[in-house]
Structure 1
Amino acid sequence: MVFEKYFEDYTLHAVRQTGGRTITETDIVLHAGQTGDFYPHHMDAEWCRTQPFQQRIAHGTLVFSIAVGMTAGEINPRAISYGYDRLRFVRPVFIGDTLRATVSIQELRGDAKRPNHGMVVEHCEVINQKGETVLVCDHLLLVEKKKPA
């Protein structure tokens, strides 16, 4: 879905939520192949049974990638992703866990380098089916202003 939203159109503390996404073994295997991360924590079920979590865990980068995909359902030609800050993998994610994300506008500020744009900081929290937080991060969006400075 494409929509145009200028910096002035964003509302501080506005919240949106995603639908759910269940993590599968295929997700983990594909991510391992794409990244080269074949650590036993993700790939070796027998070894994992001897470890504290006793089962394979999803790559943190996989969970982050899925969260980005879940929260990026709308295309805004007036904004561009400037990156992510404060990324934390809070809890492990296992095969069969269903994740949802909540995004809230945490901050709206000017951009000293680009006076015709503003910075929108979206706080993203990913939770599992138990309501436990598994990942948090801040997404920085550089957004065009309606009225040039």
Structure 2
Amino acid sequence: MAYSYEPHYFEDFEEGQTFESVGRTVTEYDFVMHSAFTGDWTELHTNKHYAEDEYFGERVAHGPMTFSLATGFVYRCGFLERTVLAFLGMNYMDIPAPVKMDDTISLDMEVIETKDLSSREDSGLVVIDTTMTNQEDTVVFEGDMKFLIKRRD
């Protein structure tokens, strides 16, 4: 299975096309950097002793951090390199299970829509459905990501 892909222009995307990311282990450094960048120091994510007595029994990743990890996987695959003009949002996003420290996660992606835009001659819409799992194949993130992608011309 290929984990690094050539840049794709709008014309290169087809509905049903799939991509797979490499794996990545989430570390305490990731938790600290996310907290520092966002200013979210909620104890569920940053206080080991507090989190041990809470619902998950340990620190878990911030929900927005989980989303950020998913977007990072999309870009790391390389198929949007220098062809993406904008991330346009999502129709849905679910975080059915937490990402925990030392989890190894990866992302599966499928193109679910390509659409010409009458308002843009230089680009089109590509919607990619994503599913992120951990080392136990537990789904920790799902959502579709909408991108504005350059045309070749």
Q: How does 1:1-40 map to 2 (within 5 A)?
A: 3=6, 5-40=8-43
**Distance (whole Å) between structure 1 residues aligned to residue 54 and residue 83 of structure 2:** 47
Larger Rg: 1
Secondary structure of 1:113's counterpart equals coil
The answer to whether structure 1 residue 77 and structure 2 residue 82 are counterparts is: yes
- What 5-or-longer segments of structure 2 have no aligned partner? none
Cα distance between partner residues in 1 of 2:127 and 2:44: 33
Shift of 1:146: 4.6
Residues in 2 aligned to 1:4 and 1:50: alpha-carbon distance in whole angstroms: 46
Aligned length: 147
- After superposing on structure 2, the runs of 4+ consecutive aligned residues of structure 1 that deviate more than 6 Å are none
**Identity in percent:** 27
What is aligned with 2:151? 145
Code of the residue aligned with 1:80 in structure 2: it is L
Residue 128 of structure 2 corresponds to which residue in structure 1? 122
**Runs of 5+ consecutive residues of structure 1 not aligned to the other structure:** none
What is the CA–CA distance in structure 2 between the aligned matches of 1:139 and 1:146, rounded to whole Å?
Answer: 21
Q: Distance in 1 between matches of 2:123 and 2:62?
A: 35
Q: Which residue of 2 aligns with 1:64?
A: 67
The root-mean-square deviation of aligned C-alpha atoms, in Å, is 2.0
Q: Secondary structure at the residue paired with 2:14?
A: coil
- SS of residue matched to 1:72: helix
Match of 2:108 in 1: 102
